[in-house]
Amino acid sequence: MTAYVHDGIEFDLDGDFADVLGVVWSWTGEWSPAAEPMLRSDVPSLMALPLPDVYHHHGPLIPIRRKTVPRANPFAESVAAGLVETDTAFAARIGGRP
């Protein structure tokens, strides 16, 4: 975790942030001359800005959970883990056909 504290709020720079309009901001890995992390948005026309400027003009900034690697077959994995019953087991339980 790469942390940066601004106005008493700790920001995890390894994650993304959404502003109040839903624009997604990500750390570029660079720092401003004032040692502030530079953020770039998913809007091509917006230039990179220091986090305090983004926070002031576009904030608050809401952390976005990182996407997880998609699983091959989430339903099959849930059945294998015993979390869900199969269609066949459901049909047998209710006396119907799958």
What pLDDT, in 10s, does the model give residues 39-63? 999 888 888 999 999 999 988 899 9
pLDDT tens digits, one per residue of 23-40: 999 999 999 999 999 999
Global confidence as pTM: 0.63
Per-residue pLDDT, 68: 55
Residues of the chain above pLDDT 90, percent: 43
Closest alpha carbon to 62 in 6, 96, 15, 28: 15
Per-residue pLDDT, 13: 92
Tell me which long-range contacts 66-72 makes (C-beta under 8 A, separation of at least 24): 66/15, 66/16
Residues of the chain above pLDDT 70, percent: 90
Amino acid at 69: V
Per-residue pLDDT, 67: 57
- Distant-in-sequence, close-in-space partners of 34: CB < 8 Å, separation ≥ 6: 50
